Structure 1
Amino acid sequence: MICAGCLPRYRLVPYFAVILMLSGVQLLTACTAPTRAKVVSLEQPAYKTVGRPSRYTVKRKDTLYTIAWNYGLDFRTLARWNAIAPPYTIYPGQTLVLAGPRLAPRNPQPSGTKVPAPPPQPKPIRSAQSAPASNHKSPGNADKASRAVPDLSESTRKLYWRWPTQGQLKQRYSGTDPSRKGIKIGGTQGQPVLAAESGKVVYAGSGLIGYGLLLIIRHNKNYLSAYGHNRKLLVNEGALVKKGMQVAEMGQQGGGSPVLHFEIRRNGTPVDPLKLLPRQP
């Protein structure tokens, strides 16, 4: 090794320049060396978090419409997931899937494994879809409605809404509050409740908690409307009703003041009725 002190002075500058340049190369190499990144698993969980169970067992008086309504689903989507064809008949004890294929558990059958056949469905018990009207309804009104109106529930026609009753707006819709999926209109006990648009009655009863005596009307392929807390229903399930026709009498919510709870849903999702209704008379 050459001693720096033994070199002529004019040769010292290039010598130290070479030393500095080599040191710089080492520093750059250290800075640009690849670093192993932390491995993070992006695998999705077996079930995506949703606000409903993955399965539901049908009870007496359930209908496909009320189950879909209760869990915020479009009834056609629920029917497709469970291979149920129109007129969407379901049976007590039947198990329905409430989540689509992407939410199903990841447990594929191994190759060559036989999938057990589903057990035979029980004979239908007179459910709400096929049962006659209860003593809350007037069969004469339902028969009159069906004769007067064509079935438009499968159409894609444009809808022209009207107010279902007269009275003071007691509560507005909220897209963030689950307890305010519709509006509440105050009135008097027994006040007429009218169909907000023409359509087919797909539910009439008190099977949905929080709605009292409830009526649901399907107006076309996309829209349903609901009328809750009635004192009396005047139409049966399956009845075809005309816009403006009286379908119920206003009742009370939990023993309080008379009020009508009114909802509109598009493809199973609640929407603000005030954006569809005309100016209040």
Structure 2
Amino acid sequence: MNTGWPNFVVLAIMLTGCSFQAERPAPVDTLSSKNHGPRYHKGSLKNDKYKVRKGDTLYSIAWGAGRNFVEVARLNRLSPPYTIYPGQSLNLAATNNSQIAAIRAPQPYVNSIQTQAITKPYISASDSSKLKTIKSSAAPKPGPAV
């Protein structure tokens, strides 16, 4: 008896299932559609304040202002993950000198530790008799095994 025909039927069913086409293919967005690309061109936001709109990100707003997003977050006291909300007003430029971190010029290093020369760097053999010796009673005594 030939047992190859059940394998052939299973293979034919599998191939038929793989060749099935959906009536409606999945939608495809291309990179050329209007929804993609930067919302703002670099440096296009010239105002010192910006009101957040739906779909804005801190990165896109900072890009439009020509600033680093971390700097804009610092100006607005935002911490990671830098969440912003529609209607929120963001400062894009420091309004006074107190908001700008001052960078101090490097100062020369001044050693304030006083050093002295070592007059007696070692103990001679004749001075070693002045050292205290350890008495044998201070040595550890054997105890019960743990």
For Structure 1 versus Structure 2, the TM-score category normalised by the shorter chain is: 0.3 to 0.5
* Greater helix fraction, Structure 1 or Structure 2: 2
Q: Structure 2-normalised TM-score?
A: 0.35
Between structure 1 and structure 2, the one with the greater Rg is 2
Q: Structure 1-normalised TM-score?
A: 0.18
